[in-house]
Amino acid sequence: MSLTNALTQQLTRRPQRLALLEQIAVQGSITRAAKAAGLSYKAAWDAIDELNNLAEKPLVERTVGGKGGGGARLSAEGVRLLALYKRLESLQARLLECAESEQDLELLGRLMLRTSARNQLSGRVLGIESRGRNDLVSIELAGGPCLLAQITHDSTEKLELAPGRSVVALIKAGWLRLQHISELADDALNQLQGRIEEILDAADSPSEVRIALASGQTLCALVEPERLAQLGLKAGNSVRAQFAPGQVLLGTAL
């Protein structure tokens, strides 16, 4: 297969996350929707968390007691987005027809990069405070909570940040430090509070802790077994996640 054909297929193939949304609308079950979309059950929930975090309003609503596994349905925003995506598919085909060379497709491929950061939270810039070569960017997340990101002034200019600009805050799961709500918080750090949905233990590696925020967004933290045992955290517990402003990466739409 030529590079051009491979890139064309990559750009025109329906993303699995959108396919998952479509299957949730049809199946009403995470287990069946994941299978139909070619995803594992865990990968499906990871995708749902990411979609809900990136959207200003949750796209998928969870239901209790669904047949065949965890139940779910599309929210009104999810239904609207799925309909919009279907209309965009025809425009995408027309875009590819306009590509004049293989280099055009290679450029598009580079622009459609994924990130390894597990936590991707959408928000809007509230303000920017200059601190020498760095800027402290205040961001309001969907649902109301705020966080601070410390980035270089060059990055602020490159991203064309200004109050009201939509951004995505990226935080690696290993950067989150969990503590009980009753513990004294460090005012120098970002604070996000939520409820533990699930703890996934792994042999000889950090446990994965999923935290549901009041906004409908989900955080994923990687916690060493010793720290988890020390805290005595369980599913259903309220918890606070702390991380430094310098551990927040920002992204904007092109």
Please give the full DSSP string across the chain, using - where no structure is assigned: --HHHHHHHHHHSPPHHHHHHHHHHHH-BHHHHHHHHT--HHHHHHHHHHHHHHSSS-SEEEETT-TTSSEEEE-HHHHHHHHHHHHHHHHHHHHHHH--SHHHHHHHHHHS-----SEEEEEEEEEEEEETTEEEEEEEETTS-EEEEEEEHHHHHHTT--TT-EEEEEE-GGG-EEE-TTSPP-TTSEEEEEEEEEEEEETTEEEEEEEEETTS-EEEEEE-HHHHHHHT--TT-EEEEEE-GGG-EEE---
Judgement on whether residues 233 and 131 belong to the same structural domain of the protein: yes
**Pair (15, 87) in one structural domain:** yes
pLDDT at position 133 is: 92
Assess whether 72 and 97 both reside in one domain: yes
Confidence (pLDDT) at 147? 94
Domain final residue pick, 47, 76, 111? 111
pTM over 0.85: no
From 94, 111, 128, the end of a domain falls on: 111
Q: Tell me, yes or no, whether 177 and 240 share the same domain.
A: yes
Task: Assess whether 91 and 166 both reside in one domain.
Answer: no
pLDDT-flagged residues of the chain (< 50): 1-13, 66, 68, 110
The per-residue pLDDT for 56 is 76
27: domain CATH number?
1.10.10.10
Asked which of 87, 111, 135 is the last residue of a domain, the reply is 111
| 107 & 174 share domain | no
Structure confidence at residue 65 (pLDDT):
55
Is residue 95 located within the same domain as residue 124? no
What's the pLDDT score for residue 92? Answer: 61
CA 90 – CA 171 distance, rounded (Å): 34
Q: Based on the domain organization, do 25 and 68 belong to the same domain?
A: yes
Please give the residue range of the domain that contains residue 250: 115-254
pLDDT tens per residue across span 141-192: 877 889 999 999 999 998 899 999 988 899 999 999 999 999 998 999 999 9
What is the pLDDT, as a whole number, of residue 122? 85
Q: Residue 172 is part of a domain; what is its CATH number?
A: 2.40.50.100
Instruction: Tell me, yes or no, whether 143 and 29 share the same domain.
Output: no
Number of domains in the chain: 2
